[in-house]
Amino acid sequence: MMFPRVAKIGVLILICIVVAGGSAYLALSLIVKSPDTVVVPVLVGKDAITVLEILSGLGLNARIRESEYNSDYPKNQVIHQDPGPGSEIKMGRDVGLTVSKGVRAIRIPDVQQQDVRQATLLFQEQDLCQGELAYTHSEEAKRNQIISQFPSAGAVVARGQCVDLLVSLGKRPVAVLMPDVRGLSLEDAILTIEMSHLVLGDVSALFQEDRPRGVIVGQKPLSGHRVIEGATVHLVRNKRDVRSRPADGDIIRNAHLYRYRLAYGFLKRRIQVKLSVSGISNDLYNDFVKPGEDIILVLPASASA
């Protein structure tokens, strides 16, 4: 009778030990699985930006360990993760990621009729490089617009392939014969220049006693030369250089000097000075003047002027 009682006591003791051990294990599990522990979700197949948002929300760090070409996953999608999905790790730990670089081969996009800068950006986005640039005039394509490309659009090439481009310089410029504007007034010379699709440049002064005052006595380019539409034409107008000091013998009694300086700036301005003597008005000065230039005139000192 004694042995069965001892056996019963031993069984009871064993049960108590098992219960105590189980309780301790549960308590330890609760301690380990504290709020600082999270379960790693499935990240494979998601794009890198979405994965960063998910891991950041769980308090985990994303670490892109490598990237590789992969035909099953588009560019920037996760193709491998470590730890794997379902793993329990503490917050603040790193999750290693392998990101897809996309398919190694790629089709050349069609960039014809696009601006060369837009094509360059498109090549960069698709891991292609811009190759040699050649230029030619075109009646159809605008300036800086792509006329043709090599390799052609749709060709399958390896990433990093360079694409050569033929770029338009716009329409071929039209050549015209430089008209002869010598002997014309400044207004008529400007009109002739504009009708020839040319642009007026500088107008300088040069005094020639044997030529009428105010007419054009020089031009650059010279007349008869072949020039391109839109070229600049510089003119020389016949007038006395009033800025030079007159010789002592030229100083007129009962006269005084009138001086005017044009304000500084960028554009020429037309200055007109009229002198009225005894009710009769005449142009004393009428010309285009550069910013900052002095105008010096000799005026009569009579009371009626």
85-110 pLDDT, tens digit per residue, is: 999 999 999 999 999 988 788 889 99
- What pTM did the predictor assign? 0.40
- In sign, the C-alpha dihedral spanning 118, 124, 131, 160 is negative
Which residue from 79, 118, 81, 128 is spatially nearest to 99, judged by alpha carbons?
79
Q: pLDDT grade, residue 177 (50/70/90)?
A: very high
Q: pLDDT grade, residue 252 (50/70/90)?
A: very low
Q: Please state, in angstroms and rounded to a whole number, the distance separating the CA atoms of residues 122 and 127.
A: 9
Bridge-based pairing state of the strands 232-238 and 216-220: antiparallel
Q: What is the CA radius of gyration of the chain?
A: 45
36-85 pLDDT, tens digit per residue, is: 889 999 999 999 999 999 999 999 999 999 998 887 898 899 999 999 99
Which residue from 29, 85, 37 is spatially nearest to 58, judged by alpha carbons?
37
Flag the least confident range among 8-12, 214-218, 250-254, 292-296. Answer: 250-254
The pLDDT assigned to 243 comes to 47
